[in-house]
Amino acid sequence: MAEVALTGVGKVYPDGTRAVTDLNLTIADGEFLVLVGPSGCGKTTALRMVAGLEEISEGRVTIGDRVVNRVPSRDRDIAMVFQSYALYPHLSVRDNIGFGLSLRKMPKAEIRERVERAAGILGLVEHLDRKPRNLSGGQRQRVAMARAIVREPQAFLMDEPLSNLDAKLRVQTRAEIARIQRDLGVTTIYVTHDQTEAMTLGDRVAVMKKGELQQVAPPQELYDRPANLFVAGFIGSPAMNLVQGTLTGDAANPRLEVGGQTLTLPPEVLADRPDLAGYLGRDLVVGVRPEDMEDAGLADAPAGAGQSDPGPGRTLTSTVELVEAMGSDVLVHFAIEAAQVVTEDTRELARDAGTDVREAQRTDLIGRFSPRTRVKVGDPVTISVDTGRLHFFDIDTGASVWGTGAAPSGKDEA
């Protein structure tokens, strides 16, 4: 078990394509770090550089106290779980799990014992003599896990290990991975494009975009205090609503103009964000999490929405366009006449979601309402907004607006 550190790591392919830029990350001994980002963001390349499967063009990777830039994979003492599992088809499950041990010339009896222990942890004991082709997808995934843990390596690297499983199995296996990692206490780097996996698994989550690290923080902090538009839009499902707005009023009495409607901001919003005062009278990007909006028509709107009696300046009005009942809550889609946020970050987010952003004077929002709401498609609706929990971003840089007083955890602790 060891600390893994990346210092100024970059990757440039021979054809000049740059996959990773100046990546600084320190994964503490025993920590579970999730690298997340849309496809093509360089997260897998970063992982493969740690694994030694990809040459490190710039910077330094250390495992424990050892710089491993020039150390071949086989001598790095790390284990990897591949997205495709990469099980040896000609070997039984037992030999698959024990392959690495037998290459290290471990005595047969010890291999047997360790393989059986690992198989026990993952519930594979009765499958030990089968071939991978006779296993289900979930079992193959577990064999791949067993092959990693049996080696008792310095660190685990996992490259989207759940993406070939169906949804139900994925949730199950996710919990299992979390449990095993906690029990073994092995430093783990886990790559995924799925923000749910990132949030549920990681001690800390590192969000990447186009080869650059955007933010590293514990999941909740990432959710509550995203460093920029990209992180804000990427973490959370449904995603944070982003609209253009204008900050008006004065420091004692700030207001937000959004699509011809006015929201009153509580004074502590400015107190928490000293830099926000500088945006008075200017356009900025406003972010609202779906759960910070509620049907104002519900007499006892829950505390989650901020206030039981939304006064004037705490509500938006619109027309319901779509209602998705999830059981525990209801997702309500509506639009307001505010300009779409079109920045490089939102374009990247849209690309990842398989859609497109266009300049428009109308923005679709999603609110997560209490299941007791009675709104129907086509109804006019008044939405109470928890104005104390809004997010603000610079419209040009996309950076979150905070200020020296309460600086969010920066790009990296390193």
Partner 1 sequence: MSTADRTDTVEPAERDDDGANGNGAAGSPRRGFAARATARLGGGLAQALLALVALFWLVPTLGLLVASLRSNADNNAGGWWQVFTKPSQLSFSSYSALLDKPDFVDSFWNTILITVPTTVLVVVIASLAAYAFAWMEFPGRDWLFLLVVALLVVPVQVALLPVAKLYGKIDFGGFQMFGSIAGVVLFHVAFGLPFAIFLLRNFFAAIPRDLLEAARMDGGSEWTIFRRVIFPLGGPAIASLGIFQFLWVWNDLLVSLVFAGTDSQPMTKWLQSQMRQFTGNIDILAPGAFLSLIIPLVVFFAFQRYFVQGVLAGSVK
Is residue 79 near partner 1 by the rule CB under 8 A? Answer: yes
Is residue 237 near partner 1 by the rule CB under 8 A? Answer: yes
Which of 301, 330 has the CB closer to partner 1? 330
Q: Name residue 256's beta-bridge partners.
A: 247, 263
**Contact pattern for partner 1 over residues 130 through 159, marking x by CB under 8 A:** -xxxxxxx--x------x---x--------
Task: Write down the least CB distance from residue 254 to partner 1, Å.
Answer: 32
Buried b (16+ CB within 10 A) or exposed e, 42-79: bbbbbbbbbbbebebeebebbbbeeebeeeeeeebbbb
**Dihedral, CA atoms, 98, 101, 105, 108, nearest 10 degrees?**
-40
Task: Write down the least CB distance from residue 274 to partner 1, Å.
Answer: 33
Q: How many residues bind partner 1 (CB under 8 A)?
A: 50
Which of 87, 242 has the CB closer to partner 1? 87
What are the Cα distances from residue 178, in Å, to 174, 202, 259, 390? 6, 9, 44, 32
**Owner of token pair 């392919």:** 13
Q: Name residue 23's beta-bridge partners.
A: 9
**Owner of token pair 């800390």:** 204
Chain center to CA of 175:
16
The sign of the CA dihedral 111, 112, 118, 119 is positive
Task: Write down the least CB distance from residue 194 to partner 1, Å.
Answer: 6
Task: Write down the least CB distance from residue 89 to partner 1, Å.
Answer: 4
Task: Write down the least CB distance from residue 272 to partner 1, Å.
Answer: 28
Is residue 49 near partner 1 by the rule CB under 8 A? Answer: no
H/E element, 285:
strand 283-288
Is residue 100 near partner 1 by the rule CB under 8 A? Answer: yes
Out of 84, 308, 319, 361, the only residue in the binding site for partner 1 (CB under 8 A) is: 84
Which of 165, 395 has the CB closer to partner 1? 165
Is residue 41 near partner 1 by the rule CB under 8 A? Answer: no
Is residue 220 near partner 1 by the rule CB under 8 A? Answer: no
* Rounded CA separation 313/298 (Å): 17
Asked whether the beta carbons of 248 and 256 are under 8 A apart, the reply is: yes
Chain center to CA of 411:
15
CA 310-254-236 angle, to 5 degrees, is: 65
**Contact pattern for partner 1 over residues 239 through 278, marking x by CB under 8 A:** x---------------------------------------
Choices 116-124, 236-244, 280-288, 364-372; region in contact with partner 1 by CB under 8 A: 236-244
Residues 190-209 that bind partner 1 (CB under 8 A): 194-197
Out of 6, 87, 339, 390, the only residue in the binding site for partner 1 (CB under 8 A) is: 87
Residues that bind partner 1 (CB under 8 A): 51-53, 72-75, 78-80, 82-90, 99-100, 103-104, 131-137, 140, 147, 151, 163-167, 170-171, 194-197, 234, 237-239, 352-353
